[in-house]
Chains A and B, each alone.
Chain A
Amino acid sequence: MAYVQRKIPFVGSPETNPETKPFFDASAAGKFMVRRCTSCKKVHWYPRAMCPFCFSDCTWEEASGKGKIYSLSVMKRGEAPYAIAYVTLAEGPSMMTNIVDCDLDSLKIGQDVKVKFVPTEDGPPMPFFTPA
């Protein structure tokens, strides 16, 4: 099934708040940021100021943008078909995203993917993924 550009997001645009503003500011500059704990050193998702593993403080760092598809589903009944997925980042955590710019029905669990920023309608661009 061919990829068709759709309106992103479907409804509204991502809200930002003081905790997550640096993520979206970096996204606007084309940088994909994740949070790493200063104490346990683990990267988590979605980004939080306080580590969800040990409640210590986290810093921002730029991610490699590399990952593997953990699971996916192609939505056939939407306005245009799209592939929603969890991608396991090279840094560790899995994140919800879409896989874009590809034949959706050929996508496979375990496939290597890389980040691609996609503009949203009236908010900051968001990290999507394409086959690596």
Chain B
Amino acid sequence: MSLKGAGYIVGAWEHPTRRATDKSVALLHAECAKGALEDAGLTKDDVDGYFCAGDAPGALGPLSMVDYMNLKCRHVDSTDVGGSSYQVAVGHALESIAAGRCSIALITLAGRPRSEGMATGTAARAGNPTGPDMQFEYPYGPTVVNMYAMCAARHMHEYGTTSEQLAWIKVAASHHAQHNPNAMLRDVVTVEDVVSSPLVASPLHRLDCCVISDGGGALIVTKPEIAKSLKRPKVKVIGVGEAPKHQMGGAVDLTYTAARWSGPPAWEMAGVKPSDIKYASIYDSFTITVLMQLEDLGFAEKGKGGAFVADGNLISGVGKLPFNTDGGGLCSNHPANRGGITKIIEAVRQLRGEAHPKVQVPNCNLALAHGTGGSLGTRHCGSTVILERE
């Protein structure tokens, strides 16, 4: 049975904060839930399915959060695949709705790494010693940045991709962020600004990296009958796909991402192709993340992503594929070090015609939101959602 159209996103809300020193993580989750429910025109008592991931506070996060928010749920799901968990949650919500296990699904994400002074990208961590991989990796100092940097270095080696091409991704994000009053970085930057910013882990520069921010977001997914009874524009989920990728027993290939596998089932379910997409939210932990996913999703041929992103091709109103029109993780927000949910929220804004007028894509009726969670350098998950304005 196809899940195409089994659910609609009827509520979407991004927390405006980027620094939440005076709030708990649980409160941030709850504020996001409240925001998304108000957006949908629903109340907490309507929710019967709750979806969260590893950012939910407590050892058993979903239970702590349904307790904190005092939700009466028939179904919980806490699949944790890092920043891609929220696209996965949309897919799982569709399955749960289709199976009759819930009818109104709430998905939340929140965290405060900025307030907690987390050196997200550069600090080497031991992680969980029970992980079978840990003893063969952490002694070597893997960090978030140098793992993605190795992907960039190999992509450059095999395909001739340049730092200047990667820089165009940040340039495009900055053009969009200037119109977002909540964005952390609102100054428009140039290719020269990016490539002359300090190297963090070669070949990635400081401006190739996303921001570290507090905050969060939430989504409400529901069945068609309920969506039709609500007053908001109808955003129908027409394609979902998810897949993990890893080191494959030592057959390491850093030149592609799990989007190569999460994309095809989503395209097939939706019955559309990359050239049909009017707007794309692409996970942007780093510039290289965007470039590789664009190739793996079929927007550009493998190895030609550099040429595709250059010269403003991702800038709304300028290029062929407007992306991350809120400024994305590179300039606006990467709450809890997990950018999946903000990708979906901006896609919903675009489909509703509620993006900032300076970046709104005209007649935006088809959008894609893709997430990557974990580390492209070791283990990660890709998750793809295709949305249609009805």
Contacts and interface: CB of A to CB of B under 8 A. Distances in A.
Contacts, number: 135
A73 B150 contact: yes
A78 interface: yes
Interface string A74-100: 111110001011101100111111100
B138 A85 contact: no
Name B's interface SS. mixed
Contacts of A98: 140-141
B154 A120 contact: no
A28 interface: no
Residue in A45, A48, A88 with the greatest tally of chain B CB atoms within 10 Å = A45
Given A73-B153, A84-B150, A109-B154, A46 B125 contact: no
Contacts of A78: 122, 124, 141, 143
Contacts of B132: 19, 46, 48
A82 B141 contact: yes
A84 B135 contact: no
Interface residues of B, number: 42
Contacts of B157: 71, 109-110
A76 B200 contact: yes
Nearest to B141: A10
Contact of A77 (B200, B254, B378): B200
A67 to B, nearest CB: 11
B95 to A, nearest CB: 29
Contacts of A93: 249-252
Given A70-B154, A82-B141, A84-B140, A77 B201 contact: yes
Contacts of A44: 249-250
Nearest to B122: A77
B52 interface: no
Interface string B104-143: 0000000000000000001011100100111111111111
Given A71-B150, A84-B140, A86-B254, 20 more contacts: A10-B141, A11-B138, A12-B126, A14-B135, A14-B139, A45-B250, A46-B136, A71-B254, A73-B145, A73-B153, A73-B204, A75-B122, A75-B201, A76-B199, A77-B198, A77-B200, A84-B147, A84-B201, A96-B140, A109-B153
